Structure 1
Amino acid sequence: MTRSLSQKFRFFTFVCIALLAYVHGYNLRDTYLNPFSTVDEPLTFTAFFEYLFANGLLRFRIPMLFLISGYLYALYDHRPYSQQVKGRFRTLIIPFLIWSAFGLLMTFLLQQIPYTANILVKANLDQLGDNRPYTEIGWVGIIKRWLTAPIAYQLWFLTTLFVFNLIYPGIRWLVVKIPYIWLPLAFFYFFFIFNLPFIDSRGLFFFSAGVWIQKKNFSVEVQPKWFSLGLCLITFIGLSVIKTFMAFELEPFDFRTAKTPTSTAVILTVLYQFSIIAGILSMWFGADRVINRIMNKEWFHNVSGFSFFIFGMHVPLLPYVMTWAMLTFSFLPFHRLILYLLVPFLVLLVCIWTAGAVRRLAPKLYSVLTGGRGF
């Protein structure tokens, strides 16, 4: 792998993880956004802006991370399978267990203070829908949340990626032997969101695509002659804007009851998925000048090494801080928009500062928390 490609991977890994703060930091009434989510509130600039970014323009990140992961895993698949799996257990599952426990501990400590306990109830972050104090839930409930439903909900990415690494020999065989059958099937699975346990639809297709690109030795550093960056950007932004307007105007679709027409879900999902593909291509081939300039900056090189620590720490911290800020600063004009712009950025700064302090004062602990990344 060339140095320029390595820098590009490092840049986008950091950017994709840092932007998670703005995907998870919105303050719309609907606290969980699906590709087909509509907006149950008036069309205002703030609501439009938050939905456009949180459920539109920034949604290319996770698929891009899976794409990069597939490429890198395929690049080093000459290593023995058992060695690969043991290494990924250390770099994925152990950090998953630690950061999941950290989220539970943070939540438990905040539950002991009446003021912050009220904030946690309003944040409504529990993945199992039970926001009672952990002292009432008991050890069985806590262990279940630790292993299967983390309060740090972003950690699903680690377990999903580990499963792909476990079944990698099968994915590699399909990608190498029957790519023109497997990739369309994986794309169909991605496009219509047929999620099976631990087999995320976005992850399977883009991880497989990353493996395919590496195995076919396609150049991903030079923009293809057939590719039009301008047209791709217009498509990316245009589809995201159109989808956002439709999310306010279309009849809501409840996927749990399906009492309303499925046309809403189909339209929004189609726009969402095509915008993701256009977004990945636009960002990958359109950011070269930015990457060449910023990767030479020492401060960015240092900060980008904290990517995994930011990923592990930012939730549940961010939702709790956002809930507190919404309760505290509701008297300000345009407080929702101001807080959406400021709170995720401040949480990122806290994560970066904490990561730097831990790496400096306890490098061994930092290595365990990040799976050996960031040195």
Structure 2
Amino acid sequence: MSIPLDTSVSMAWKAAPVRLLRWLRGDDRPLSDLQVSHAIGLARIALIVGLVFLHYHAYPNSTATPFDGLDPAHHPVATFVNSFVLFFFFSAVPLLSMISGWLFFSFPAQQASQALPRRIRGRFRSLYVPLVFWNAVFMALLWTLYRLSPGSELLGELDFRFGQASILDYANAVFGITHRPVGFQFWFVRDLFVSILVSPLLWWSLRRSPYVGVAVLGAAWLVGSGLLIFFRTDVVFFFYLGGFLRMRQVRLEIGPGATLVLLGLYLALVTLRALAPLWIEWEGSRPEWLTGATRAMRLVGVLACWGLIQHVASTRAGMALARQGGLAFFLFALHFPLIAQIKLLLWRWVPAETDVWMVAHYASSVVLTVAIGMLAGSLLARHAPGAFALMNGGRALEGSSSRAVTASAASTDRPHQGTGAGSP
């Protein structure tokens, strides 16, 4: 008896996700609670370091933006390296957002009415309070710099003009209401917190019409719509996907074979995107189709990066790095405008504006920023745990015995008992 064509197509369509998941998992066994904890800890610190690379922005002697790709006319090798690394770590925000969603929607369905308000309050303390604190500190320091040296190069690096700013500009610089805060990186924290504020609506969609939510948020992300309340919808879209995976108890492992394939594909896509100006010409803004394609390749990047992180986290070196995950938020909070200042200071020591020295400046600026951030965080956690708890959003370092840090950290949810790998 033959099967009707429309029925066979429908069966194949429904079986496709199952086949994809089987291929992704390979022969790997389900991840244990401890393995998930290590992977999340490693993801947090590795991806935040990636964001430090990303927020280096352009070389001081370059007028081209790495968001376009390499500059074929001026220093093509150095600008290719900058653009390649930037596009590779474009997947950092989506993956961090997905981890946050997976952690946030970990409660049983019958406890939603109590869990959602409690978690919103907890994320207010662990996300929004540090956002306001850090940006208030940045504004105070920058205002002092402006009064002492209004022509400072650092002020020119920031998108804030003290002499022309309105009351709303100052409010946004600290609170991130309708424009990103003065600490550039905190746009992500702001959008993540807004995603949490609307989590009851996301929860309803995940329960009632999960695929409609994926379609709506995914479409908004691909076309660049902020849905009136977000700076960028990649945060809420991948936050939603993390909740989707958690509620359906989808296994998180990606096999070594699939990881290699995905990583190879992602590296190829990133290379092509960084080289795009060699064969695509445009004047003014980038073509919409190229921008959309750049966003879409992050789907491959999320899978590739998670697979790589998962396998590295099982090694001795990976587990050692995962233990530094408690410093990830502190490094994230501190790194900008710190890297902007370090970039300017180190540029004075560049002996020649060649591709080699430009790449060396790029790498050394990031390494020095990360080193200062990690050292400052470690010293604060040891000698001023109360201040560290406030600045780090209550995220505890592994093995910390500080009552202040431990008490504050209790407000953040954790993937499993005994891990400090809470919300990024």
TM-score tier by shorter-chain length is: 0.7 to 0.9
Answer yes or no: is the 8 Å Cα contact 1:103–1:315 preserved in 2.
no
Q: Hey, what's the Cα distance between the residues in 1 that align with 2:338 and 2:191?
A: 22
Question: 8 Å contact 2:42–2:323 — kept in the other structure?
Answer: no
Q: Which protein is bigger by CA-based radius of gyration?
A: 2
Q: Distance in 1 between matches of 2:94 and 2:244?
A: 15
CA 1:234–1:297: 2 relative to 1, 3 Å: closer
- The one-letter code matched in structure 1 to 2:190 is T
Tell me if 1:221 matches 2:253. yes
The answer (yes or no) to whether the contact 1:26–1:340 under 8 Å persists in 2 is no
Task: Please tell me whether residue 119 in structure 1 is matched to residue 149 in structure 2.
Answer: no
1:269-325 deviation line (CA, Å, top 9, x unaligned): 243123211111112123333211146755x35432210100100001111211232
- Partners in 2 of 1:32 and 1:197 — Cα distance? 27
Q: AA paired with 2:186? A: L
Q: Which runs of 4+ in 1 moved over 6 A?
A: none
Other structure's SS at 2:341 match: helix
Q: Deviations over 1:10-62 (max 9, x none)?
A: 1101111111110011434358665x6785853610011111111x1111100
Match of 1:110 among 138, 145, 160: 145
The one-letter amino acid of 2:324's match is V
**In structure 2, the residue corresponding to 1:287 is in which secondary structure?**
helix
CA distance in 1, matches of 2:295, 2:168: 38
Partner of 1:260: none
Q: Does 1:315 align with 2:336?
A: yes
Whole-angstrom distance in 2 between the partners of 1:241 and 1:37: 9
> 1:210 aligned to 2:231?
no
Query: Which amino acid letter does the alignment assign opposite residue 197 of structure 2?
Result: L
Does structure 2 conserve the Cα–Cα contact (< 8 Å) formed by 1:27 and 1:322? no
Question: 1:220 and 1:365, CA in 2 relative to 1: closer, same or farther beyond 3 A?
Answer: same
Q: 1:221 to 1:67 in 2, by over 3 A?
A: same
Q: Find the counterpart in structure 2 of residue 100 from structure 1.
A: 135
Deviations 1:325-364 (A, max 9, x none): 2244253643321110111111100011111111111111
Q: 2:347 matched to 1:326? A: yes
Matched, 1:145 2:167: no
Q: Cα gap change, 1:305/1:117 in structure 2, threshold over 3 Å: closer, same or farther? A: farther
- Secondary structure of 1:195's partner? coil
Going from structure 1 to structure 2, the CA distance change for 1:282 and 1:83 (only over 3 Å counts) comes to same
Residues of 1 paired with 2:258 and 2:254: CA distance? 13
For the 8 Å contact 2:70–2:83, the answer to whether it is kept is no
The amino acid that maps onto 2:247 is K
Match of 1:86 in 2: 121
Confirm or deny: 8 A CA contact 1:30 1:39 kept in the other structure. no
Cα displacement (A) at 1:217 = 0.6
Asked if 2 retains the 8 angstrom alpha-carbon contact of 1:38 and 1:247, the reply is: yes
SS of structure 1 residue aligned to 2:182: coil
| 1:261 paired residue number | none
SS at 1:20 equivalent? helix
Q: State the Cα deviation string for residues 176-212 of structure 1 (Å, max 9, x = none).
A: 2212222122211122211234432211221111001
Per the alignment, in what secondary structure is the counterpart of residue 372 of structure 1?
coil
Pick from 267, 290, 299 the counterpart of residue 268 of structure 1. 290
* 2:50 aligns with one of 19, 24, 32: 19
CA RMSD of aligned residues (A): 2.7
Percent identity for Structure 1 against Structure 2: 19
Amino acid at match of 2:38: Q
- Stretch moving more, 199-208 or 78-87: 78-87
Partner of residue 78 from structure 2, selected from 41, 46, 54: 46
Which residue in the other structure is 2:282 paired with?
252
The offset of 1:236, in angstroms, is 0.6
Paired amino acid for 1:63: P
Question: Quick one: distance in 2 between partners of 1:181 and 1:16?
Answer: 29
CA contact (8 A) 1:190 1:201 kept: yes
| Partner residue in 2 for 1:171 | 202
- Counterpart-to-counterpart distance in 1, 2:119 and 2:142: 34
Question: Aligned with 1:252: secondary structure?
Answer: coil
Kept in 1, the 8 Å contact 2:183–2:337? The answer is: yes
Paired with 1:101 and 1:192, the residues of 2 have a C-alpha distance of 33
Gaps of 5+ in 2: 1-31, 398-424
User: CA separation in 2, counterparts of 1:5 and 1:273?
Assistant: 27
Aligned-partner Cα distance in 2 for 1:61–1:166: 22
Change (3 A) 1:346 1:84: same
Letter in 2 for 1:95: P
Structure 2 distance, partners of 1:144, 1:31, is 28
2:100 to 34, 51, 69: 69
1:164 is displaced (CA, Å) by 1.1
What are structure 1's unaligned runs of at least 5 residues? 256-263
Shift of 1:235: 1.8
Deviations 1:131-187 (A, max 9, x none): x46xx7587653442223422111111111111111111111212221222212221
- 2:266 pairs with 1:277: no
SS at match of 2:221: helix
Task: Give the alignment partner of residue 368 of structure 1, picking from 360, 368, 390.
Answer: 390
**Normalising to structure 2: TM-score of the pair?**
0.76
Kept in 2, the 8 Å contact 1:38–1:253? The answer is: no
Superposition TM-score, scaled by structure 1 size: 0.85
